Structure 1
Amino acid sequence: MTQAFNQVQEWEQRRDEASRYYKQGQFQEYLSFASENLELARAIPDRAREGHTLNDIGLAHLSCCQPLQALECFQQARLVAVELGNQRAEAIALSNLGSTYSRLGRLSRSLEYFDQGLRIFRDLQDIPGEISTLNDVALIYSKLGKPKRSLLLQYQILAMRRTLGDFSGEATTLNGIGYAYSTLGQYEKALEFLQAALPIQRAVKNVMGEATTLNNIASVYGDLGEPKKALLLYSQVLLTRRAINDRAGEGTTLHNIGFTYSLLANNRQAMKYYEQAIAIYQEIGDCLGEISTLLNMGNFYAKTKRKKLALSYYHNAQHLATAIESQPHLQKVQQCIDAL
């Protein structure tokens, strides 16, 4: 009895320590601690703690840009939760499965998991869980080219977060609202919300969130016809994302720098950054990012009347869009091919 008690104490302490690494963005260290904790949970043995740890390992893999390994862990965590009748743990696993499918570009599948998780969170009256999942759903709508639907949801989430006094979450939602407005072409409105998110992210020392917001602000500068101002900001964001080893974010910023150079008609620099972005997207399995970059590269060759090269990039993008069953992206690719 005493040995089991000591092992449970050790598990709790190690999980707290692992959590500190996660918050600091040290995901490999977090993965190492979580993996050791899984062995400890199985040695006790304690199925509930085993399920929690499988979820932790899944988050670690997702943060290390290893979505397929994350999927496996979240599926196991869900099975344990169902076996134990732990509805909250099941909802968390479902939500995390949704996030992972979103990372893989499987947006329809992602929404299915989010919807299942959302129903359970609402049944349990788990407001933070509901808000977190709604936020993920809103981001999916933005990715699916439905920014108005995303905005409606984000305003609902913002009110809920302010009621709860969720300061950090409020900044995340302000950033999401700003991004949605930018996709609608309402750039001044976008800047208003993005700039409102920044002081909160700085106050809570959310470096990754701040980098995301600055990246979105730079994108708006590009849209407003200020590409040099955008490049200065992207350079700052790129340094931050490399410093915290945010590979997904780094890929996004490299792509955006490439696009901004194309606006300045500096095509050699544009292609250089696009190629760096593609390499990262392929490494981390970000199909949506890769499709977007392939289309931009194809568009460059289309503008310079090199149709065969353009078509090869469009076909690569088409192949990826087919693989992830993304109708919006397939339509976009077809439009590019038809315009050749």
Structure 2
Amino acid sequence: MPSRFEAYLRHAQHYLQIAEETETIYLQGGENVFGALKSFDAEFVHLKAGQRWATANWNNSEDAVRLCSDYSNSAAYLLHLRLHPYELIGWLEVAINATQKLGTRKREGSHLGHLGNAYYLLGNMYQAIEFYKRALVIAQSIEDTPGELAQLGNLGNAQLNLGNTQEAINYYEHILAIYRHVSDKRSEGLTLGNLGNVHISRGDWRKALPYCQHALEIAREIGDLHGEWIRLGALGNVYLHIGQVHQAMEHYLRGLEIARRLGDQRGVSATHNSMGDAYFALGDLHRAIDCYEQSLALDRDLGDKLGEGMNLNKLGNIYRNLGQIHQAISYYEQALEISVAVGDRSEQAADLGNLGNAYLNLGAVQKAIEHYEQALVISREIGEKPDEGIELGNLGVAFSQLGDYARALDLYNQALDIANEISDRKVAANHLLNLSLTYEKMDRQGQALECARLALAIYEAIESPYTEYARKQAEKLFANKNRSTRILQR
């Protein structure tokens, strides 16, 4: 008769095998996904028990140490779907210690990459990059080419999130060529989607469209339903920003159907959030509020603080749009409390910026400036170039309202330099338009016209909804210039 220890060991090994088999079925794609998820969910409580037992018996058996590593690797995709990032971090930290004890370098690198992904989901890009780089060093040292490519892709994702778009493109294009050469369709689709995300972040929505469409085709071809959900959301966002809102909504609704079938509550929440954006664009603010509130409720149930903060901010934006500024401030302050509590300094800066916008709407310009300056300090401290540019632009608006046009010009030019540095054309055009309006107030019509024309050229190229406004500004300034010329000729 086996001892109590042996019985628990066999139990843990049995459910490890089930996890591995279930992951294999899940990766076959298509309808297999739903059967795999159903089986995984039915056994999840036993899987967790096995992992806890292995962790508790770390010092008693090498078999337990091996299990600590194997559990986090056995069903990496399914664990990503079912574990909250904080819980996943706990599993992975144990797994990394196990691989170091066992001397299994390849597995250690894999766990480090997954740990980076968990921090990425939490919005901690610098922590994510640290783990990706450690994983990359291991992959290169043991000549693990698939592992090296995976970490290069992860580093591209993190750099994109930080606004370093050209660096992200360099990573993605390098690995895309290799994935195509070895016919790795899943990784090819993932990388195409990431290249689409780069162009989305730059405001080049038309350029993003074929990348996102191709990525969706591959996800469907290989039966990757979770990947299909991701690509439907990205395509929906593209259609939303090029003004095809109903097309966007079709993609979101299909994505919502998939997320529900997968039992992916985080996916359901994210899709409701995107649908809120679409209703907002349609001017249906009450349905947008309903979507954001559904997403907010799910995020609170899931303990997803980042999602909760994002929904609070979007609700604040709607109420600010409705002119209910004090209600908006209440939502922004709740969001700020969350970002401070979880130590997300990037989101903290964004929340302070939103509060600044609300106070500016109330005419409390000095209070707005205080919030913008706090946000700017944080963005500079953490090296968030896109956010630094946003806060400089916001400060420019505030000082322009105070009539300090020289200070406003300086701030807009600093913001424009950053937008050009990170290749964000949409934001660069916004700053050029603000420069045009400020030069006009200073009666520097020639410089105002030049900036308006530059802004218009960018807006036309990216098909921005601000195109018509910039055109009217340029036409007005051109007419003023001609009128002044005629007066001088008299």
Alignment TM-score, normalising by the size of structure 2: 0.58
SS at match of 2:352: helix
d(CA) in 2 for partners of 1:83 and 1:43? Answer: 27
Distance in structure 1 (CA, Å) of the matches to 2:390 and 2:282: 18
Q: Using the TM superposition, give the Cα deviation of residue 140 of structure 1 relative to its aligned residue in structure 2, in angstroms.
A: 6.7
Residues 405, 442 of structure 2: 8 Å contact kept: no
The answer to whether the 8 Å contact 1:208/1:241 transfers is yes
Q: 1:97 to 1:67 in 2, by over 3 A?
A: farther
Q: 2:125 aligns to what SS in structure 1?
A: coil
- The residue number in structure 1 matching 2:470 is 333
Which residue identity is paired with 1:15? G
Q: Is 1:253 equivalent to 2:370 in the alignment?
A: no
| Percentage of matched positions with identical amino acids | 29
| 1:74 pairs with 2:191 | yes
Equivalent residue for 1:14, pick from 108, 112, 118: 112
How much is the aligned-residue C-alpha RMSD, in angstroms? 3.8
**Partner SS, residue 466 of structure 2:** helix
Aligned match for 1:212, one of 350, 364, 371: 350
Report the equivalent of 1:25. Answer: 125
Q: Measure how far apart 1:88 and its partner are.
A: 1.2
Q: 1:130 to 1:33 in 2, by over 3 A?
A: farther
Letter in 1 for 2:192: Q
Q: Which has the higher contact order (CA 8 A, sep 6+)?
A: 1
- Alignment match of 2:327 (pick from 185, 189, 193): 189
Q: What's the counterpart of residue 43 of structure 1?
A: 144
Alignment of 1:255-274 (within 5 A): 255-274=393-412
Is the CA contact (8 Å cut-off) linking 1:21 and 1:30 kept in structure 2?
no
**CA distance in structure 2 between the aligned counterparts of 1:212 and 1:160, rounded to whole angstroms:** 22
1:307-330 CA distances to partner (integer Å, 9 max, x unpaired)? 33222111111111111122x211
The residue type paired with residue 396 of structure 2 is G
What is the deviation of 1:117? 4.8
Q: What is the CA-CA distance between 1:111 and the residue it aligns to? A: 4.6
Of 253-262 and 159-168, more deviation after overlay is shown by 159-168
* Match in the other structure for 1:199: 337
In structure 2, how many angstroms separate the alpha carbons of the residues matched to 1:218 and 1:75?
37
Give yes or no for contact 2:336–2:351 (8 Å, CA) kept in 1: yes
Letter in 1 for 2:125: G
2:430 aligned with 1:292: yes
CA contact (8 A) 1:212 1:249 kept: yes
Q: Does 1:178 align with 2:316?
A: yes
Cα deviation, 1:87-117, whole Å, max 9, x if unaligned, reads 2134335546777x69xx7676995896365
Q: Does the CA-based 8 Å contact 2:110-2:135 persist in structure 1?
A: no
Matching of residues 70-109 of structure 1 within 5 Å:
74-75=191-192, 78=215, 84-92=222-230, 95=233
String of CA shifts for 1:223-282, please: whole Å, max 9, x gaps.
111111111221111111111111111110000011111011111110000000011111
Q: CA deviation at 1:67?
A: 3.6
Distance change in 2, residues 1:323/1:132 (3 Å)? same
- C-alpha contact (below 8 Å) 1:28/1:64 kept by paired residues: no
Amino acid at match of 1:324: I
Structure 1, unaligned runs of 5 or more: none
Distance 1:194 1:31 in 2: 33
Give the whole-Å Cα distance in 2 for the aligned partners of 1:246 and 1:168.
18
Going from structure 1 to structure 2, the CA distance change for 1:140 and 1:238 (only over 3 Å counts) comes to farther
SS in 1 for 2:163: coil
- Which whole-Å deviations, capped at 9, do the CAs of 1:149-184 have from their partners, x for residues lacking one? 643432231233234343332122111211222233
**1: CA distance, partners of 2:143 / 2:228:** 19
Letter in 2 for 1:282: N
Equivalenced residues, count: 330
- CA displacement, residues 109-154 of structure 1 (integer Å, 9 cap, x when unaligned): 9958963655543442322023224434545766x58482643432
Larger mean CA deviation between 152-161 and 227-236 belongs to: 152-161
Structure-1 separation of matches of 2:439 and 2:401: 14
- The Cα shift of 1:66 comes to 3.5
Q: Do the aligned partners of residues 165 and 303 (structure 1) sit closer, same or farther apart at CA in structure 2, a change above 3 Å counting?
A: same
| Distance change >3 Å, CA 245–CA 133, structure 1 → 2 | farther
Question: Which of residues 65, 72, 76 is equivalent to 2:163?
Answer: 65
Equivalent in 144, 153, 159 of residue 297 of structure 2: 159
- Where structure 2 has 5 or more consecutive residues not aligned to the other structure, the ranges are 1-65, 67-72, 74-103, 174-189, 195-214, 478-490
The CA deviation at 1:8 is 5.1
Distance 1:310 1:20 in 2: 47
Larger Rg: 2
1:132 aligns with 2:270: yes
**What TM-score comes out, normalization by structure 1 length?**
0.80
User: Which aligned segments of 4 or more residues in structure 1 are displaced greater than 6 angstroms?
Assistant: 37-42
